Amino acid sequence: MTNQSIHKTELIAPCGMNCRVCLGFERKKKPCFGCRANQELDSRYNCIIRNCQKRGNHDNCSECENRCARLKRLDKRYREKYGYSPIHSLDIIHALGMEAFLKNQEIFWTCESCQGLLCVHRWACPECGAPRPNVISAQELDDRI
């Protein structure tokens, strides 16, 4: 993985996930091009969160006052399995704006050892094997939210 494109707004999914650090984005066979890619005919893009009409003209759920059950379940799963909270990302986008969030993402997802791109689904850098340094527990994430 490389840091190329980590700072693109169009790679931030409606749920707050940075598609660039998702394992599916790097897949060789049937790669995912991100939730905001124009792939209407592909069944992978039938996500309820991605296709939510309540979001209106907004690119993501950061402006939603009431987070839906689907987003909450996704957030819980990612906090428990990967130490990452899409809702926390949405809160950062809402509070600081997309530009500041993207700058944070560049720092957060860059390996301190080799400068490679980390993956949300891996606890170690795919390039050099160094442990993912920014991992925090699900409880710590709960305390921040």
Total structural domains within the chain: 1
The answer to whether position 67 is within a domain reads yes
The answer to whether position 4 is within a domain reads no
Please report, in tens digits, the pLDDT of each residue of the chain (145 residues total): 444 555 588 889 899 999 899 998 888 888 888 877 765 555 556 677 777 777 767 788 888 888 889 999 999 999 999 988 999 999 999 999 999 999 888 888 999 999 999 999 999 999 999 998 655 554 555 555 4
The answer to whether position 1 is within a domain reads no
Q: Is 24 exposed, middle or buried (0-12, 13-18, 19+ CB in 10 A)?
A: middle
The answer to whether position 48 is within a domain reads yes
The answer to whether position 2 is within a domain reads no
The answer to whether position 106 is within a domain reads yes
Q: What is the pTM of this model?
A: 0.80
Range of the domain at 103: 9-144
The answer to whether position 50 is within a domain reads yes
Identify whether the C-beta of residue 128 lies closer than 8 Å to the C-beta of residue 122: no
